[in-house]
């Protein structure tokens, strides 16, 4: 199981080099960025030199506001910059963000993402082999690539493509076309084993592949601390985060898989911004099933015990600053314990 460092959302390109150096010194296997308060590709370009040998990826970049051509060219350059160690992670986001934040067309997100991945591979084939660019889909059409605009081949394979997937369509799409899946931190091991893995396996079988060809990656919500007070604060932060995630209808399958019937009530309270009442609906059992709860000196062992054989790549989803303050030695110990 690989252990990855997720760049803090406040880091951006300016803070990336120091953060990447920190991850390299601690022994992490990879560094991932998110499409939140900063553009997700620039921190990788800025920080790659500080982490020779590390893998780098987006977890995730929002796909639809970016043309597949723009994403293909960016990923191609980052694959060259990182020595073939770039993992392109894509996601659909939700309608409100796509339409109102990005002012981009929304519709048929699953089929559109399928075409998006297909278009990437068609474009990369043109870059690599110099063949005419021909991709004709319902959402994307590409038919022009002159030598002046073609970056040409690089001495590395095409970038690996991961997508975030929650619903059945995208989980099957992972198995059919992708190299990996980014699993949302709001999950349980039972949900992964009973729902996500079988759906990915279905898609893989349709394409003549095996589920073992797919990398499963996720961050893990951590409830931890060096003493009881810190543990209690971290537990409360996790409860709030889980209440927020559980109020989102898109993630209700996790609740249903565990027999937790609080989803509709949480959604109704969330719509009215009654946050205190929401947290009271999240039981201690829910927190303990979603999050890994362990003192800091046993956290890595607890993560490994839960996820070994379930995830191929794991990162630490920090809450309440419970991990942000760690020094180099503590980070290195946590990575070593998590990896085992």
Contacts of 99 (CB under 8 A, 6+ apart): 105, 106
Cα 217 to Cα 162: distance, rounded to the nearest angstrom:
9
Strand pairing report for 135-136 and 141-142: antiparallel
Encoding tokens for residue 78? 């980052």
Cα 291 to Cα 162: distance, rounded to the nearest angstrom:
23
CATH fourth-level superfamily of 2-226+293-339: Luciferase-like domain (3.20.20.30)
| Per-residue pLDDT at 312 | 98
pLDDT single digits (tens) 30-88: 999 999 999 999 999 999 999 999 999 999 999 999 999 999 999 999 999 999 999 99
DSSP 8-state class, residue 30: E
Query: Omega into 60 within 30° of 0, i.e. cis?
Result: yes
Cα 175 to Cα 159: distance, rounded to the nearest angstrom:
17
Question: Nearest Cα to 75, choosing from 37, 123, 34, 28?
Answer: 123
Encoding tokens for residue 129? 């082999």
Cα 56 to Cα 134: distance, rounded to the nearest angstrom:
29
Question: Nearest Cα to 201, choosing from 224, 181, 184?
Answer: 181
Encoding tokens for residue 207? 């394409």
| Per-residue pLDDT at 318 | 79
| Per-residue pLDDT at 275 | 84
Cα 161 to Cα 171: distance, rounded to the nearest angstrom:
14
pLDDT single digits (tens) 303-312: 999 999 999 9
SS3 43: helix
Cα 316 to Cα 247: distance, rounded to the nearest angstrom:
22
Contacts of 153 (CB under 8 A, 6+ apart): 127, 128, 129
Cα 194 to Cα 188: distance, rounded to the nearest angstrom:
10
Strand pairing report for 30-33 and 61-62: unpaired
Residues of the chain with pLDDT under 50: none
In order of 15, 62, 109, 280, the CA distances from 95 in angstroms are 31, 12, 9, 29
Counting every residue written for the chain, the total comes to 340
Q: What is the 3-state secondary structure (H, E, C) of 210-241?
A: CHHHCEEEEEEEEECCCCHHHHHHHHHHHHHH
Q: Where are the domains of the chain?
A: 2-226+293-339
Cβ distance 183 to 196 under 8 Å? yes
SS3 32: strand
| Per-residue pLDDT at 276 | 86
């Amino acid at each position: 199981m690989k252990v990855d460092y997720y760049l803090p959302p406040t880091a951006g390109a300016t803070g990336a080099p120091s953060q990447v150096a920190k991850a390299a010194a601690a022994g992490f296997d990879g560094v991932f960025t998110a499409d939140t308060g900063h553009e997700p590709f620039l921190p990788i370009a800025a920080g790659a030199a500080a982490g020779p040998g590390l893998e780098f990826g987006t977890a995730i970049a929002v796909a639809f506001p970016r043309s597949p051509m723009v994403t293909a060219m960016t990923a191609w350059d980052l694959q060259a910059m990182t020595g073939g160690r770039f993992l392109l992670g894509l996601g659909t986001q939700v309608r409100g963000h796509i339409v109102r934040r990005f002012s981009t067309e929304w519709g048929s997100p699953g089929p559109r993402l399928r075409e998006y991945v297909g278009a990437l591979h068609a474009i990369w084939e043109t870059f690599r082999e110099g063949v005419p660019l021909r991709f004709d889909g319902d959402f994307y059409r590409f038919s022009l690539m002159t030598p002046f605009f073609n970056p040409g081949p690089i001495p590395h394979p095409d970038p690996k493509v991961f997508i975030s997937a929650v619903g059945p369509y995208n989980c099957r799409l992972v198995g059919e076309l992708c190299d990996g899946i980014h699993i949302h931190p709001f999950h349980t091991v039972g949900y992964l084993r009973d729902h996500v893995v079988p759906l990915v396996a279905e898609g893989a079988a349709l394409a003549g592949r095996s589920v073992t060809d797919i990398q499963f990656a996720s961050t893990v919500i951590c409830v931890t601390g060096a003493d009881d007070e810190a543990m209690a604060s971290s537990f409360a932060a996790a409860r709030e985060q889980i209440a927020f995630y559980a109020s989102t209808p898109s993630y209700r399958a996790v609740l249903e898989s565990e027999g937790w019937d609080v989803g509709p009530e949480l959604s109704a309270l969330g719509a009215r911004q009654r946050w205190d009442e929401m947290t009271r609906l999240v039981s201690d059992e829910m927190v303990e099933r979603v999050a890994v709860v362990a003192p800091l000196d046993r956290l890595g062992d607890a993560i490994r015990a839960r996820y070994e054989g379930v995830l191929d790549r794991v990162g630490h989803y920090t809450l309440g600053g419970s991990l942000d303050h760690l020094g180099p030695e503590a980070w290195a110990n946590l990575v070593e314990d998590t990896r085992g």
